[in-house]
Structure 1
């Protein structure tokens, strides 16, 4: 499903300065390597992110800067993503190029893995600039967005700890 609503490109500055930024930090016993495998597996997102019904890598492996992916939520919502930062095993950052539904001017996500003395730390940041008409709706739904996105980050860690990613 190709998005018919184009979004503006985002960069590292946008991830820090977007009008809406949600960041989750999760410490776990999972290694950075095993968590990275979960995040980049063919079953990424659909295996552990509630509400995500499809996630297809549209670039060939090995992944890197310029990698693309289409993520679907339900039958009508799809996001076409482009990765602009790819530090293998450590960090990946993408922005949404287009969406099947309106509402966003810019949207990006940044995932960082850091080793800790007991495993790893996942820092997952969601950065959004809504269209002006959508800003009040997004603001009111922020508590729900925080719970949903936290469940995705928790799900990635839980899935990793349960065994080998698909």
Structure 2
């Protein structure tokens, strides 16, 4: 594991590579936060994840940590710097087994809607200089991949909350 650069919630907007995608969900913001709390739910909609382990006790808040395992054997240690249920969570990778990123952060903004809620998922990434041209070239593909995870989230929430 190697340490990544310390970033804050604004990094998703100021990062060299930023992504933001939204999805409308037919569940309440509180129900969406139930999904966020469920470690077993994450790999079902974020298909890059294979395992999520909370490493801090509940109740969760700023400073909460977890470890994620990604496809390809990558492991990341995360720390949440924002936990404002049911409106927003944000975290950064504090360490990673991969050398593909130098800084990484995600922010989840949740707004209530007439039919449930709207989630905006923002991701900020910095990479070693040698990888920047590759990320620049593949940015549209990465954006589509991230957007597909939100489609998986909608399917997950429709399946698990359809009776509500």
Do the aligned partners of 1:23 and 1:126 also contact (CA within 8 Å) in 2?
Answer: yes
1:106 matches 2:103: yes
Q: C-alpha offsets along residues 118-145 of structure 1, whole Å, 9 cap, x if unaligned?
A: 2110000011111111111211221221
Q: C-alpha offsets along residues 76-99 of structure 1, whole Å, 9 cap, x if unaligned?
A: 211111000000211100010111
Per-residue deviation, 1:75: 4.9
The alpha-carbon distance between structure 1 residues 51 and 103, as it changes in their structure 2 partners (threshold 3 A), is closer
Per-residue deviation, 1:100: 0.5
CA distance in 1, matches of 2:66, 2:72: 17
Per-residue deviation, 1:29: 1.7
The equivalences for 1:117-132 within 5 A come to 117-132=114-129
> Which residue does the alignment assign to 1:76?
73
Q: Which deviates the most, 106-115 or 153-162?
A: 153-162
> Which residue does the alignment assign to 2:152?
155
* Long gaps (5+) in structure 2: none
TM-score normalized by structure 1? 0.90
Do the aligned partners of 1:35 and 1:156 also contact (CA within 8 Å) in 2?
Answer: no
Per-residue deviation, 1:8: 0.7
Do the aligned partners of 2:9 and 2:91 also contact (CA within 8 Å) in 1?
Answer: no
The equivalences for 1:12-51 within 5 A come to 12-51=9-48
Segments of 4+ moved more than 6 angstroms: none
CA distance in 2, matches of 1:47, 1:26: 16
SS in 2 for 1:59: coil
* Long gaps (5+) in structure 1: none
Please point out which of 61, 65, 72 is paired with 2:62: 65
TM-score normalized by structure 2? 0.91
Corresponding pairs, count: 161
